[in-house]
């Protein structure tokens, strides 16, 4: 397997790789899915180091980058790839810059609690989330056929307006972005988020049939699909107690938590 000073590459199966940044407190994962004639890269990480250096070692196929959502920690290496896709709800942030999060806050978050050496090209004082006009849009219900596997796009707003999940129907892998991961709270407490939408989106993905593994974008790489049963319970609890509102705080469930 690939040895790299910044990225950790983990093989999920012969044609699926997790590309992780454990040297940063956010423990961000991006995912490379190989098809027959092209590959899909779900997100491109923090932009502290060059992710194309990794994908070049894993495949010679052309790569389409699919964006789960436009936050700095998911679009960092977008500029290294030619074809970039995003949901319409987050497109404006990709083109014109992320709204609702100040550049000072973004730089504070990018520079803290780094435990691995960073490349000389990384300067937190001048760091900016990448901006680009996307190649195209991905919409709810889109099917990306990679020849050997079919990827379904689900629009799952809440954490951001244009957040999407990607379901590899063939293998039962559900890539949940920042809608669902373990250890640290899922965020929906700032103005550009929506607690009500987040709960609706959690309900939607929890009902998907045929999920074998859940891959969130932070912390543990790969969660058992049984977490979706807890998500169903969480949705009922949050609604019955009228908690899907800003300011209700952190809500803990078995295996994950949310902050409103
Ligand atoms: Zn995010
Ligand atoms: Zn994130």
Query: Three-state SS across 72-104?
Result: HHHCCCHHHCCEEEECHHHHHHHHHCCCCCCHH
Which helix (H) or strand (E) is 259 found in, with range?
A: strand 256-259
Instruction: State the burial class of residue 258 (Cβ atoms within 10 Å of its Cβ: 0-12, 13-18, 19+).
Output: buried
pLDDT of 101 reads 81
**Is 221 a member of any domain?**
yes
Cα(166) to centroid(ligand 1), Å:
15
Range of the domain at 22: 8-259
**Average pLDDT over all residues of the chain:** 96
Backbone phi and psi for residue 165, each to the nearest 5 degrees, phi listed first? -110, 150
Q: What is the largest CA-CA distance in the chain?
A: 51
The reported pLDDT for the residue numbered 28 is 98
Between the CA of 95 and the centroid of ligand 1 the distance, in Å, is: 17
CA proximity to 101, closest of 193, 217, 28: 193
Q: Judge whether 62 and 38 are in contact, CB under 8 Å.
A: yes
**What's residue 129's pLDDT?**
92
The ligand that comes nearest to the alpha carbon of residue 101 is 1
Where does the pLDDT of residue 185 fall: very low under 50, low under 70, confident under 90, or very high at 90 and above?
very high
Nearest to 213 by CA among 197, 199, 227, 201: 227
| Assigned domain for 103 exists | yes
3 occurs within a structural domain: no
> Strand 223-224 relative to strand 186-187: parallel, antiparallel, unpaired?
unpaired
For residue 211, give the CATH number of its domain. Answer: 3.60.15.10
% of residues, the chain, pLDDT over 90: 96
Q: Which residue has the tokens 């959690």?
A: 202
**3-state SS, residue 230:** helix
Cα of 180 from ligand 1 centre, angstroms: 11
Residue at 77 is within a domain: yes
Tell me the whole-structure pTM to 2 decimals.
0.97
Alpha carbon of 36 to ligand 1 centroid (Å): 30
How far is the CA of 228 from the CAs of 176, 212, 235, 254, in angstroms? 11, 10, 10, 11
Q: Which has the closest alpha carbon to 137: 122, 155, 120, 125? A: 155
Assigned domain for 1 exists: no
pLDDT value of position 100? 79
User: What's the CA gap between 65 and 81, in Å, rounded?
Assistant: 7
The reported pLDDT for the residue numbered 244 is 97
Ligand 1 center–CA 72 separation, angstroms = 8
Alpha carbon 203 to its chain's center:
18
38 — pLDDT class (breaks 50, 70, 90): very high
CA 71–ligand 2 middle distance (angstroms):
7
Domain tally for the chain? 1
Looking at the domain assignment, is residue 240 inside a domain?
A: yes
Q: How far is the CA of 248 from the centre of ligand 1 (A)?
A: 20
Residue 87, C-beta contacts closer than 8 angstroms, at least 6 positions apart: 67, 69, 137, 138, 139, 153, 155, 162, 163, 164
User: Does residue 41 form part of some domain?
Assistant: yes
Can you say how many angstroms the Cα of residue 86 is from the centroid of all Cα atoms in its chain?
A: 12
**Measured CA distances, 255 to 11, 145, 165, 218 (Å):** 23, 32, 19, 13
* 173 DSSP β-pair partners: 168, 213
Domain contains 147? yes
Tens-place pLDDT, residues 110-165: 999 999 999 999 999 999 999 999 999 999 999 999 999 999 999 999 999 999 99
**Which DSSP helix (H) or strand (E) runs through 107?**
helix 103-111
């Amino acid at each position: 397997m690939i040895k790299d000073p910044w990225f950790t590459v983990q093989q999920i199966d012969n044609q699926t790789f997790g590309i992780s940044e454990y040297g940063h407190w956010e423990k961000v994962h991006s995912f490379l899915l190989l098809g027959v004639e092209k590959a899909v890269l779900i997100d491109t990480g923090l932009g502290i180091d060059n992710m194309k250096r990794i994908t070049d070692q894993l495949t010679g196929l052309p790569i389409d980058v699919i964006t789960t959502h436009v936050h700095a920690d998911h679009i960092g290496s977008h500029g290294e790839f030619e074809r970039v896709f995003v949901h319409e709800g987050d497109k404006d942030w990709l083109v014109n810059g992320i709204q609702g999060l100040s550049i000072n806050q973004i730089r504070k978050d990018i520079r803290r609690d780094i435990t691995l050496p960073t490349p000389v090209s990384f300067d937190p004082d001048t760091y900016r989330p990448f901006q680009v006009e996307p190649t195209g849009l991905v919409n709810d219900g889109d099917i990306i056929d990679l020849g050997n596997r079919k990827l379904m796009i689900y629009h799952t707003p809440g954490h951001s307006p244009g957040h999407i999940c990607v379901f590899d129907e063939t293998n039962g892998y559900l890539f949940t972005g920042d809608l669902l991961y373990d250890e640290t709270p899922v965020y929906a407490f700032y103005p550009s988020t929506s607690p009500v939408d987040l709960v609706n989106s959690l309900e939607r993905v929890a009902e998907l049939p045929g999920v074998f593994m859940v891959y969130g974008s932070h912390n543990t790489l790969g969660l058992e699909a049984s977490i979706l049963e807890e998500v169903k319970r969480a949705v009922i609890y949050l609604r019955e107690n009228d908690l899907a509102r800003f300011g209700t705080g952190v809500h803990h469930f078995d295996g994950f938590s949310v902050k409103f």
